[in-house]
């Protein structure tokens, strides 16, 4: 009898049916050993040795698994094929005191892949384990030490993470750009012209009298409209060409998260949870990967399917290959793809509706990656009004698809892909075009948009910050900490998030520097490849951090950190300027001379940002039908009718989460002694109270290095 250990029960169930009666497959339910939550647990005086302990509740599991270890058979550690999986395998071997455990990995949970892996086991890769330990220890040191300083200088209970702080900086700096942006007025002039074929093509005014058209006011445009409104148009020039659009690569972790967010509205966290389920059920290959490669077997299967389903013209003469610079320590062998290309999402009997949608996205993208290019006839056309004194050049870029190729399966466009490109059937130089409508459009320059989860992941990847397995955790962590909320599906910083980011950016410049953070990731990859040593690497990061902390602790005053912005208000005590500060109960006005002058004023917050991923958005008042608005009172934010005091309707902020007992929305309340808890909004009819997990205790002082 042989024993196989994996992380999850779903994975265990899938593997067990492939291996047969001679194998027992059990799950460790993730990590069994980790750093304790209540202390630093890293000996900085002994080579940054981590003090790992058995995770609470896992001792009984280890005891149970020990009984299953065969006396004569083999033990196979089949955790995921990345450094996190390698560390889980190592700790499982340590916890069970295994002497000759065999490490096996596979990129897909199929019968052939699992059997092949069992036939060619290897030893645990200690370089990968060291890399995971280094990340865990470095994140603990940074988080523990910097969080302690945040508690002291800003507010009790705050925390900071190494990579999360960089992501927060991106969001806060984008918000500052938006707030400081001054819009500029400009005008564009369009004309809708009808071709002989009946196509309506929208042209844009590009030049007037040979010069680039620019208009900053309505008066500038009115003169032009008067000139051209009654004119017919003649095609002045047609530049024809051909365009070939190549198939996109199959998904990596990053591009899957971006596409799922853009097309399906899934968060990075949800996407990875669904992909994990699809992988464990054997439907897709491993979902944490930087690679765009596909195996020869997969390419052969894809090309065969495409040929039989769509025809020979839809497959290129030779297979499509994609080059991408990958971080080898985090790269699986392949891109994300279906394990059986003939199965659509509907054919997955064991998958939920949301899993099926994600699966079809993965399958269509993987199939499309091996299809022929899409072909277009392109036109750059210039038309001019007839019978006018000035030369007006109206232009348009148009195209006509002659062969759809990969777009048969993947015709999803995001961002600027395909923007402003119109399709027409035929147009020639000298053609007369009928004037259907002239449209002057007033516009204003706009700032960059807030980050969505998709664009943030894209930016993190571009900067080299984090790795595929960390993107979802980065975003969920800064949201869980209350530093960031979602507003209309975009990420916006909260006041406390802004304060924390400003503090870190001003005083921990090295820690939140984009290039430096990417360099740290490269160092971790170097450990995984056996090229960088663990202790010198941690030493190089920890000692400068401690010097920064000691300096900041002495030099920086708390009252200077919590300033959000300047104010036009004057201090009632001394007449000095006042500043907006963030206190325990929200914003307030404080004298800029504090602590010499303790003048202050209440400040009713009009800038409360509703986290739509957490709270219900109220619309109309139930009594009078007028708009409900958010107000801030003594006990925090709440909904109230805009017609107050005529209408006194008021409601607490309802959580999206519903009561498991009666189905009403849950609300956050304060108890008798000021402690916050989550209970049913139908109280006292329903007395349900949600049990909260115990919070991490306050960090103890670490040993001096």
- Cα separation, 289 vs 81, whole angstroms: 10
Cα separation, 625 vs 483, in Å, equals 34
Dihedral sign computed on CA atoms, order 553, 555, 557, 558: negative
Q: What is the dihedral of CA 494, 500, 505, 507, to 10 degrees?
A: 160
Residue range 49-69: mean pLDDT, rounded: 94
| Contact between 599 and 574 (Cβ < 8 Å) | yes
Distance CA 615, CA 657 (A): 8
CA 555 from chain centre, in angstroms, equals 36
* pLDDT given for residue 590 in this prediction: 87
Confidence of residue 413 (pLDDT cuts 50, 70, 90): low
**Complete DSSP assignment for 584-610:** TTEEEEEETTTTT---EEE---S----
Q: Is the peptide bond before 427 cis (omega within 30 degrees of 0)?
A: no
* CA 484 – CA 519 distance, rounded (Å): 26
For 133-181+452-559, give the CATH class.
mainly alpha
Which pair of structure tokens corresponds to residue 101? 């455990």
Of 273, 261, 343, 331, nearest in space to 302 by CA: 343
If we measure between CA atoms, which residue out of 79, 467, 96, 118 comes closest to residue 280?
79
Considering the chain, what percentage of its residues have pLDDT values greater than 70? 92
Secondary structure class of 628 (helix, strand, coil): strand
Query: Given a cut of 50, is residue 90 above it in pLDDT?
Result: yes
Residue 531 CA from chain centroid, whole number:
31
The CATH number corresponding to 186-246+376-444 among 2.60.40.60, 2.70.20.10, 3.40.50.300, 3.40.190.10 equals 2.70.20.10
- The span from the CA of 356 to the CA of 347, in Å, is 9
DSSP 405: G
**228-279 pLDDT tens trace:** 988 899 999 999 999 999 999 999 999 999 999 999 999 999 999 999 999 9
Q: What is the pLDDT of residue 633?
A: 63
Averaged pLDDT score across all residues of the chain: 88
Rounded to whole angstroms, the Cα distance separating 536 from 142 reads 16
Q: Which residues of 474-486 are buried (b: 16+ CB within 10 A; e: fewer)?
A: bbbbbbebbbbbb
Which one of the listed residues 23, 286, 314, 471 is annotated catalytic? 286
**CATH numeric code, 253-368:** 1.10.290.10
Using a 10 angstrom Cβ sphere, with 0-12 exposed, 13-18 middle and 19 or more buried, the burial of residue 87 is buried
Residue 286 appears among annotated catalytic residues: yes
- What is the location of CATH 3.40.50.140 in the chain? 2-124
Query: Per DSSP, what are the bridge partners of residue 202?
Result: 192
Q: Which CATH number fits domain 2-124: 3.50.50.60, 3.40.50.140, 3.20.20.70, 3.90.850.10?
A: 3.40.50.140
Which pLDDT score is estimated for 417? 41
444 alpha carbon, distance to own chain's centre: 29
pLDDT tens-digit map of 487-533 = 888 999 998 999 999 999 999 999 999 999 999 999 999 999 999 99
Question: Residue 48 in contact with residue 538, Cβ under 8 Å?
Answer: yes
Query: pTM, whole model, 2 decimals?
Result: 0.78
**CB of 324 within 8 A of CB of 468?**
no
Reported as a single tens digit per residue, the pLDDT across 332-365 is: 468 999 999 999 999 999 999 999 999 999 999 9
The reported pLDDT for the residue numbered 608 is 61
Q: Does 545 score more than 50 pLDDT?
A: yes
* Banded pLDDT at 415 (limits 50, 70, 90): very low
CA atoms of 212 and 443, how far apart (whole Å): 17
Does residue 675 surpass a pLDDT of 70?
no
Q: Which residues contact 415 (CB under 8 A, 6 or more apart)?
A: none
* pLDDT at residue 697 tops 60: no
CATH 1.10.460.10 location in the chain: 133-181+452-559
User: What's the confidence (pLDDT) of residue 211?
Assistant: 94
- Can you tell me the distance from the alpha carbon of 177 to that of 169, in angstroms, rounded to the nearest whole number? 12
Rounded-to-integer distance, Cα 52 and Cα 676, Å: 32
CATH 2.70.20.10 maps onto the chain at 186-246+376-444
């Amino acid at each position: 009898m042989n024993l196989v250990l994996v992380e999850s029960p779903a994975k265990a169930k899938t593997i067990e049916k492939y291996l047969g009666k001679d194998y027992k497959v059990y799950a460790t339910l993730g990590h069994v050993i980790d750093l304790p939550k209540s202390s630093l647990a890293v000996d900085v005086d002994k080579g940054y040795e981590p003090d790992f302990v058995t995770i609470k509740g896992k001792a009984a599991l280890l005891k149970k698994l020990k009984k299953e270890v065969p006396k004569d058979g083999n033990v196979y550690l089949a955790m995921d094929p990345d450094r996190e999986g390698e560390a889980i395998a190592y700790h499982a071997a340590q916890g069970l005191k295994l002497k000759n455990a065999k490490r096996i990995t596979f990129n897909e949970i199929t019968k052939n892949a699992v059997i092949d892996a069992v036939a060619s086991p290897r030893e645990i890769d200690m370089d990968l384990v060291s890399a995971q330990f280094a990340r865990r220890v470095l994140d603990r040191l940074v988080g523990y030490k910097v969080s302690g300083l945040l508690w002291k200088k800003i507010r009790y209970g705050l925390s900071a993470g190494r990579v999360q702080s960089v992501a927060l900086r991106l969001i806060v700096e984008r918000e500052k750009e938006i707030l400081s942006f001054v819009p500029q007025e400009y005008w564009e002039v369009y004309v809708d012209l009808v071709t002989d074929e009946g196509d309506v093509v929208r042209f844009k005014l590009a030049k007037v009298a040979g010069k680039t058209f620019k208009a900053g006011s309505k008066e500038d445009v009115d003169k032009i409209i008067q000139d051209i409104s009654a004119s017919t148009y003649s095609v002045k020039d047609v530049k024809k060409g051909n365009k070939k659009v190549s198939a996109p690569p199959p998904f990596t972790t990053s591009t899957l998260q971006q596409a799922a967010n853009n097309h399906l509205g899934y968060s990075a966290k949800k996407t990875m949870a669904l992909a994990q389920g699809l992988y464990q059920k054997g439907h897709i290959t491993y979902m944490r990967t930087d690679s765009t490669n596909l195996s020869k077997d997969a390419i052969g299967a894809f090309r065969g399917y495409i040929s039989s389903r769509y025809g020979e013209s839809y497959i290129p003469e030779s297979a499509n290959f994609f080059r991408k610079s990958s971080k080898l320590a985090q790269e699986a062998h392949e891109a994300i793809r279906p394990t059986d290309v003939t199965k659509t999402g509907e054919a997955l009997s064991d998958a939920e509706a949301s899993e099926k949608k994600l699966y079809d996205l993965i399958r269509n993208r993987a199939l499309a990656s091996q299809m022929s290019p899409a072909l277009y006839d392109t036109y750059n056309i210039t038309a001019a009004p007839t019978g006018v004194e000035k030369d007006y050049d109206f232009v348009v870029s148009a195209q006509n698809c002659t062969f759809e190729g990969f777009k048969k399966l993947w015709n999803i466009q995001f961002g600027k892909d395909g923007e402003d490109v119109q399709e027409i059937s035929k147009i020639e130089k000298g053609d007369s075009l009928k004037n259907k409508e002239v449209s002057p459009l007033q516009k204003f320059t706009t700032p960059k948009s807030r980050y969505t989860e998709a664009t943030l992941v894209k930016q993190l990847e571009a900067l080299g910050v984090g790795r595929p397995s960390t993107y979802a955790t980065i975003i969920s962590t800064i949201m869980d900490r209350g530093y960031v909320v979602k507003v209309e599906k975009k990420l916006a910083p909260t006041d406390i998030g802004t304060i924390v980011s400003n503090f870190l950016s001003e005083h921990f410049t090295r820690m939140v520097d984009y290039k430096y953070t990417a360099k740290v990731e490269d160092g971790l990859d170097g450990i995984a490849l056996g090229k960088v040593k663990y202790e010198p690497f941690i030493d190089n990061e920890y000692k400068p951090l401690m010097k920064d902390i000691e300096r900041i602790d002495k030099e920086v005053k708390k009252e200077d950190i919590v300033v959000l912005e300047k104010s036009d208000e004057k201090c009632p005590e001394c007449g000095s300027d006042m500043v907006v500060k963030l206190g325990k109960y929200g914003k307030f006005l404080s004298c800029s001379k504090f602590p010499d002058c303790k003048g202050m004023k209440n400040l009713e917050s009009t800038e409360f940002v509703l986290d739509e991923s957490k709270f219900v958005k109220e619309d109309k008042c139930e009594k009078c039908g007028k708009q409900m608005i958010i107000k801030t009172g003594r006990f925090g934010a709440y909904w109230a009718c805009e017609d107050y005091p005529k209408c006194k309707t008021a409601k607490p902020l309802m959580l999206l989460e519903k009561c498991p007992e009666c189905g009403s929305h849950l609300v956050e309340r304060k108890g008798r002694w000021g402690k916050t808890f989550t209970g049913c909004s139908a109280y006292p009819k329903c007395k349900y109270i949600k049990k909260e997990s115990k919070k991490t205790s306050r960090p103890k002082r670490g040993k001096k290095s």
